[in-house]
Chains A and B, each alone.
Chain A
Amino acid sequence: MPTRTILAASGLVLAAVIAGAPFVLNEGILRLATECLLLLTMAQMWNLLAGYAGLVSLGHQVFIAFGAYALFLTSGWLEVTPIWVLPVAPVVAAVVAAIIAVPLFRLREAYFSIAMWVFAEIIGAFTMKSQAVGGTSGLPLPTSKLIDFDWFEPTMFWLAGALTLGTIAALYKLMISSFGLGLMSVRDNDLAAMSVGVDVRHNRFVAFVLSAAGCGLAGALSFMGNLYIAPLAAFDVNWSVYMMFIVIIGGIGTLEGPILGVIIFFGLRELMTGPLGLSGGWYLVGLGVIAVIVMMVAPRGIWPALRDRLGIRLLDVQRTSPRPAVVLPSASQQIAG
């Protein structure tokens, strides 16, 4: 069976599982699953930027915050159910990204990472000072009275599931397109990429804006689920730290890596804060230790190491060469002679 068919079939199965899950799972697990899915989407977006365009952002929380605040404010102004104004979130985040790309792209490597963080901190500080957006204490979701709470958790889960599947499908589509080939060439060797005609700056810009849009949408969903937003939570640098952790241990520059990474991330969290009964602080220490071990043992992450050792292919984006279907030995000899 061709890869595409298998992938499409798996997608359908997953969609069916997501559709049915709220009818079997209890609310606590459903909430956890929603959180996993949203963080997976964010990690995919962070990976798009870091893994494929070489830009390591420590300020991606700013896009989460822009998306979430945009949702809360717009939904309040228009007085409609937050779900209908969701599209505002990615648009606002994308516009912000497109604007700040101009000065930020002058910076490279660590300077870019730190400038992103500083930018997020500045916007966070302004938000805390600004009473119009709730200041330090934040905002409740103004239109939460319009929400049907019987279906709230399932709806959140469905939205998160749709976003995650949609994101992975879109990224897969992107990677098998010729733009994706350009992205992967930059990931592998930007010097060689520009030398064969790839516009590295343009790639970076597109990846940056897409990445911001995705995080804006996932962030909006995440805070919509809380029905409340406060600057300390929205502009928390841990958002970027988690995305980075998930991508780096899972496998940077691959579509499968963040999926594996998110499973490890939540598995570890549930294990350490649950059965082991450790506090949140120890959990972060544990994450750090694991990240360091993975970086030493498998610098490109766990997924690439597994893939190369076991020869498994999941979301395979490699283009195979168009060989002549079947060339009989005699026929090829005739051609050669």
Chain B
Amino acid sequence: MAPLLRVNGLSKRFGEIVVADAVSFKLARGECLGVIGPNGAGKSSLLNLIVGLVTADGGSIMLDGAEITGLPPHRRARMGLGRAFQIPQPFPHLSVYENALVAASYGAGLHGEAASSWTMEVLQRTGLEAKADKLAGALPLIDRKRLEFAKALASKPALILLDEIAAGLTEPEVERLVAIIRTVKADHAIIWIEHIPHALRAVSDRILVLNFGRKVLEGPPADVMDSAVVREIYMGLKADGVA
């Protein structure tokens, strides 16, 4: 199958800090790419580059055969990118339902009845249905994380980008989240940044290791996790991975 996402030689630096150093990879529909690496390695920046919140210094990003490298974020979102932020970014004075409705209306381009029923379906799938009319600003962490996922999903993306959405959750909560991600995997491509090895292993087809903005390794989860490189990086990672 032709890849949905093709990232080629993507580069970005902030002054002295290199956050992306000629990163290349491909991703097909139905595939989940896990991304690991120490804090500050450039994982979130990679997502920012893909969604267009940060403009690349070099390289290209192709989505479904179309070059999206220079497009503004809202265009990329409408073309099929949905992103869950590491630090939840709700619309605090809108209700949970309205939060997801923004994504359904703008990202997915739905109107009226179609928009509201799709929004409710997403809230149901992400376990937020009972809190639909609560203000997003008043949600506890777990629900903020769920809402991040709901907003990403509601825009009917082809590619879902998840940034540490399991971080800070209890084990049963992580299990639930993994189950939810599994249900959407079949018809989406997913990039999932996470520090929790077993969660990542459970869903990922491949894992990509970033360090200082460079792709150090990419391969099947078992191989990558057991590799010498990762063990070395992981020792340092476990300490700050908890934070």
In the assembled complex, how far is the CB of residue B117 from the closest CB belonging to chain A, in whole angstroms? 7
Residues of A within 8 A of B22 (CB): none
Assess whether B72 is interfacial by the CB under 8 Å rule: yes
Q: A178-B111, A194-B72 are in contact. Are A318 and B95 (CB under 8 A)?
A: yes
- Whether A192 contacts B120 by the Cβ 8 Å rule is no
* Residue in contact with A194 in the complex, picked from B74, B91, B98, B108, CB distance below 8 Å: B74
Interface bin, chain A: 20 to 34
Residues of B within 8 A of A184 (CB): 91, 93-94, 98
In the assembled complex, how far is the CB of residue B220 from the closest CB belonging to chain A, in whole angstroms? 31
Residues of B within 8 A of A178 (CB): 105, 111, 115
Quick one: closest A residue to B151, CB to CB? A196
- Whether A197 contacts B91 by the Cβ 8 Å rule is no
In whole angstroms, how far apart are the Cα atoms of A198 and B85 in the complex? 16
In the assembled complex, how far is the CB of residue A327 from the closest CB belonging to chain B, in whole angstroms? 12
Q: Mark B49-86, 1 if CB is under 8 A from A, else 0.
A: 00101000000000000000000111001100011010
Assess whether A309 is interfacial by the CB under 8 Å rule: no
Q: A178-B111, A191-B53, A322-B116 are in contact. Are A196 and B93 (CB under 8 A)?
A: no
Assess whether A181 is interfacial by the CB under 8 Å rule: yes
From 191 to 206 in chain A, residues with beta carbon under 8 angstroms from any chain B beta carbon are: 191-201
- Whether B92 contacts A321 by the Cβ 8 Å rule is no
In whole angstroms, how far apart are the Cα atoms of A188 and B83 in the complex? 17
In whole angstroms, how far apart are the Cα atoms of A193 and B107 in the complex? 10
In whole angstroms, how far apart are the Cα atoms of A194 and B72 in the complex? 9
- Whether B73 contacts A195 by the Cβ 8 Å rule is yes
Assess whether B165 is interfacial by the CB under 8 Å rule: no
In the assembled complex, how far is the CB of residue B160 from the closest CB belonging to chain A, in whole angstroms? 12
Q: How many B residues face the partner with a CB closer than 8 A?
A: 39
- Whether A196 contacts B120 by the Cβ 8 Å rule is no
Residues of A within 8 A of B74 (CB): 194, 197-200
Assess whether B11 is interfacial by the CB under 8 Å rule: no
Q: Mark B102-144, 1 if CB is under 8 A from A, else 0.
A: 1101111101000111011001000000001100000000000
* Residue in contact with B89 in the complex, picked from A191, A197, A199, A318, CB distance below 8 Å: A191
In whole angstroms, how far apart are the Cα atoms of A156 and B109 in the complex? 44
Assess whether A185 is interfacial by the CB under 8 Å rule: yes
Quick one: closest A residue to B119, CB to CB? A321
Assess whether A5 is interfacial by the CB under 8 Å rule: no
Residues of A within 8 A of B177 (CB): none
In the assembled complex, how far is the CB of residue B122 from the closest CB belonging to chain A, in whole angstroms? 11
Assess whether A219 is interfacial by the CB under 8 Å rule: no
Assess whether B213 is interfacial by the CB under 8 Å rule: no
Assess whether B149 is interfacial by the CB under 8 Å rule: no
Q: A192-B151, A193-B102, A198-B74 are in contact. Are A321 and B91 (CB under 8 A)?
A: no
Q: Mark A297-337, 1 if CB is under 8 A from B, else 0.
A: 00000000000000000000011111100000000000000
Assess whether A261 is interfacial by the CB under 8 Å rule: no
Residues of A within 8 A of B192 (CB): none
- Whether A321 contacts B132 by the Cβ 8 Å rule is yes
30 sampled A-B residue pairs with Cβ under 8 A: A178-B105, A181-B102, A181-B105, A182-B105, A184-B93, A188-B93, A189-B92, A195-B51, A195-B53, A196-B77, A196-B103, A196-B151, A197-B103, A197-B106, A197-B107, A197-B109, A198-B102, A199-B72, A318-B94, A318-B95, A318-B98, A319-B95, A319-B98, A321-B95, A321-B97, A321-B123, A321-B133, A322-B116, A322-B120, A323-B132
7 interchain residue pairs of minimum CB distance? A197-B106, A197-B107, A321-B132, A188-B91, A197-B77, A321-B97, A192-B89
Listed in ascending order, the chain A residues whose CB lies under 8 Å from chain B are 178, 181-182, 184-185, 187-189, 191-201, 253, 318-323
